[in-house]
A and B are shown apart, each in its own frame.
Chain A
Amino acid sequence: MLIDRNTRLVVQGITGRDGSFHAAQMAAYGTQIVAGVTPGKGGTKFENTVPIFDSVHDAVDATGANTSVIYVRAPFAADAICEAADAGVRLVVCITEGVPVRDMLRVVPFLKERSTRLVGPNCPGMIAPNARVKVGILPASIVKPGSVGVVSRSGTLTYEVVYQLTRAGMGQSTCLGIGGDPVIGTNFIDALRLFQADEETEAVVLIGEIGGSDEEEAAAFITEKVTKPVVAFIAGQTAPPGKRMGHAGAIVTGGSGTAADKMAAFAAAGIPVAKIPSEITGLVAAAAPALKRG
């Protein structure tokens, strides 16, 4: 789903501190990194192997890159996303945190015109343990090949849940972080549609948080369109209203976007909701009794 052995990755911002560190991590896991982009550094190489280009267009022309991951600083992230889309990259994953909302509002229609899927920004990206491919920053040490799909608005909370699944013997098909910002490229419904169609996935864990109504819409979508078992968890049950809880999108405004509302929406749709993270594996086991464990 989204990434596999045919993923040919271009890393935008490959010479930066985060970009270079994670490019090495992704390559070590098995991801095919075919190019890097840093304007002004074209013609050089990353770790003596990966060619660096001045533009994504050059990188795509020369290497056939079909997926991009972005580690550039926030003021330049929206431009980097649009550049990748314009160069014909079909999947763009933006790790960068702190992208202004106004920039993202202009990116969204630009991507629609070019049929490019964006994941993020402000997300940890994704990892597919069965194919041994990762695009982003999720630590490979905590995953295990298997058939549970994980989708989340958070980073480290995803790691915590994935780690608990792995310890319970429940491997993962794809772990996908969609990002903690108010305007993101791929939302819960998009992710659920992908997991529903994905042959590797037998059950889905959805990790939401306060702010917006993406979880409520996901609950309605599951009722209508998802036949695979889904287990949900919502962070921020004790968050005070009007305060931004770290993530730009994690804020309860005017009484809407509360954890209680989201949990109630899932419960009303018959979707099991874990009250605490350590209940998740038990609920997955109950909801998907045929799940292969190892």
Chain B
Amino acid sequence: MKVHEYQAKELFARYGIPVPPGTVVATAAEAEAAAARVGKPVVVKAQVLVGGRGKAGGVKIAKTPAEAREKAAAILGMDIKGETVKKVLVTEAVDIAREIYVAVVMDRRAQKPLVMASAEGGVEIEVTAKENPSAIQRVWIDPLYGMHPFQSRQLATALAGDAELAKPMADIIQKLYRLYDEVDASLAEINPLVVTPDRRVLALDAKLNFDDNALERHPDFETLRDLDAEDPGEVRARAEGLSFVRLSGNVGCVVNGAGLAMATMDLVKFYGGQPANFLDIGGSSRPEKVIAALSIILQDTSVKSILFNIFGGITRCDDVARGLVTAFDQMNLKLPVVVRLTGTNEDEAREILRAVPAIHPAETMDEAVKKAIALAA
């Protein structure tokens, strides 16, 4: 789960990481009032979960409250990579002497958290990694000990250049790791961490992603979730215990298991079609899950055919077949449906599906995909 900059900054502040004061607002008038309270030039920043808002014009400096109003009006409602800006953060414009990058990520290869830092802040770390890889400092953390103070000192000394600045920087890095660990983050990033001309050190931006698997032990984080920024199909799917990602094609896919679901959409593309979605109905597919899956897919009007690819293991094919029969009864389904069911209880499933002549049966995954593409054309 991703959260907005203003939400991440609230958590940063709770952990003692210094952030410039700011107010999140939803209207231009509120932006003007917020800027007036700051009493200095401000930055108006679009609050979106996608990256690249700066390049898209979602971050603007305003010297006066009136100007803040104007900039907020321009940014609110803006579309940034498919996400509509609903809120802006109005925050004090800070003079910058230096920009630094610091992040904690999970290193899958080392199976340890990794703290990355670079004196070239304000640039995406992927760009630094490509253009100047030696600028990136890396420190791996033993998850049993946590971050040793000497590790944060080492990084800070390399970044700061002088001992006086290294101290507050080490403190921030230490706190960032503690935050990452305690909130079950999968990414905690400050880019940039700035040094001001009067030598203060501040987190000018904040990015936090949470491990979805750990959300159960942080029930309060559910309130941080921005349902408006997510695809409604994905929100609905999560509530139903399904895994769904919208794509742009016209062949709707219902599959059990993530790997098979990916392979199915790849196969649609391979045979010249366009998959409309990734959808994993999960292990134990009660008939209600099939109905939920179909109603999520049917919300997308570009879908022209629906493909079921089920390999029964824990999932019983007869459960899926029953769900399909009920769906045909209840939903007035007009789109062609291609069904491939193999594995646990497939004979029973075939028998059940005889009651629905509108279903196009298929023996193999390849045959099912080709039929679904032809029917979508």
Contacts and interface: CB of A to CB of B under 8 A. Distances in A.
Interface of A: 18, 74-75, 98-102, 104-106, 108-109, 124, 137-139, 141-142, 152-160, 163, 180, 182-183, 207, 209-210, 212-214, 217, 233, 235-240, 243-250, 254-255, 259, 275-278
B313 A137 contact: yes
A139 B266 contact: no
Contact of B213 (A99, A124, A137, A212): A99
A141 B344 CA distance: 8
Contacts of A153: 259
Interface string B276-300: 0010100000000000000000000
Contact of A157 (B243, B245, B260, B344): B260
Contact of A106 (B144, B262, B267, B275): B144
A207 B184 contact: no
A182 B265 CA distance: 22
A75 B217 contact: yes
A158 B113 CA distance: 30
B311 A160 contact: yes
A156 B255 CA distance: 9
Given A106-B143, A154-B257, A159 B313 contact: yes
Contacts of A239: 245, 262, 265, 278
Interface stretch (B23-31, B58-66, B103-111): B103-111
Contacts of A278: 364-366
A233 B270 CA distance: 14
Given A137-B314, A155-B257, A209-B262, A245 B270 contact: no
Interface in B359-373: 364-366
Given A101-B186, A105-B113, A109-B143, A207 B259 contact: yes
A157 B257 contact: yes
A66 B269 CA distance: 46
A9 B209 CA distance: 38
B240 interface: no
B258 A245 contact: yes
Contacts of B267: 276-277
A157 B270 contact: no
Contacts of B313: 124, 137-139, 155-156, 159
Contact of B211 (A100, A158, A236, A250): A100
Given A102-B214, A245-B262, A247-B258, A163 B126 contact: no
B148 to A, nearest CB: 16
Interface string B86-118: 000000000000000000001011011100000
Given A101-B213, A105-B143, A236 B266 contact: yes
B216 interface: yes
B212 A248 contact: yes
B51 to A, nearest CB: 8
